[in-house]
Structure 1
Amino acid sequence: MKGKIPVILALLVSLASPAAAATAAPKITVEEEGRLIDTTSSPVIMHNNQPYVSLQLLAQSLGYEVKWDAKNATYHLSVANAKYPLILNESAQFVSVEPKYNIMTSLDSSRLLGGINLDFVYVIEKDLPREPVLVVEMLNKDQTVLASSTKLLKKTKGTFKDYILGDSIRLPYPVQTNREQVTKLMSEDYTYRIKIK
């Protein structure tokens, strides 16, 4: 992706020059799996009958951290290092998210199972035509998704408190490990990501 970014930037710079026949196209909308991305701060531009969207705006709306390296004319995109990277929905915002590590022993007592449950508070800023879908993904240190859970949120305006139970996976710790130590190990080895669709 890094190789393509300077080319995109060069094209965007040429579009901004007076000689280019580029026009703002505020009526064009951008969606990610049904989630409207707000482009009012950086409207879509039409050039040669093709729409162009701000790379920074698009990457940030998809949950990436974006850093501009002016010296090398390069954007650097990376997965957010936050404890729970959020892909935000313009009409649903989180006020707080608290993870709780759920640990249990398998039925045959041969292994430990664990998942991440979340208690959260969110705000719906305006009545919506459909319920937003909350997706919680459990990831390992390599950012591989190991399990996911979904839940419908409210579609009416207001502030709501809720929870979601995460799916359990097999944990790599000995069954004899005490629960406090397992919780500590899980918090170091696994994280979660939230999406609203």
Structure 2
Amino acid sequence: MAELDVQPKKKNPIVWIILVLIALALLFFLMRGCNESKTTGLADTTTRDTLAKTVVDWNQVDFNTPDTTYEEVTDTGIVIRSTSKYTIYGIGENILFAKDQSEIQRAADVQLQQIAASLKKRFNGASLAVYGNTDATGTAEHNKKLGASRAEVVKDWLIQNGFSADLITVQSKGESDPVATNATEKGKKLNRSVEIVALAAK
């Protein structure tokens, strides 16, 4: 009986090389996808953090902060109060507006120009909020609307004088936060004011 000389088939090395290359390519794409999702996650987190920092809770402003002075503001009708976080410029509504009106009086332009100059000097590009306050004459609803209307007019004035509309918020406290008694004319006069709050740079 003849002996069969059976030798094992030689494996083609090219097949193995191709398989290894395919495996490496798959591994590369998998790793790249993971890194991109991590980077995207970080970018999303950073964006969320940035947006969170730009959202301002204007209800947290303390209007009983200490008075201060700025050399560029010389008009005694302007009251300035300041903390490390923000500065408040206050001006009587009786200076800005006629009784129960929301059109700025011409004489008030001098005070507003001083405030604008100070804002540009110290808070250029900062977020601003304009608050309207009234006395308790009339209904609370009417006073809320009047405060908002007056604050809106001051906002418009600021925009016309070089401030960005996107950085200005309008708030109305109406009669809800009096600084003096509404039982006297003097107290009512003090309660009628507009306040411009500027956030300090971080």
Alignment TM-score > 0.5, same fold: no
More helix by share: 2
Q: What's the TM-score once normalised by structure 2's chain length?
A: 0.30
Higher alpha-carbon Rg = 2
More strand by share: 1
Q: Which has the higher contact order (CA 8 A, sep 6+)?
A: 2
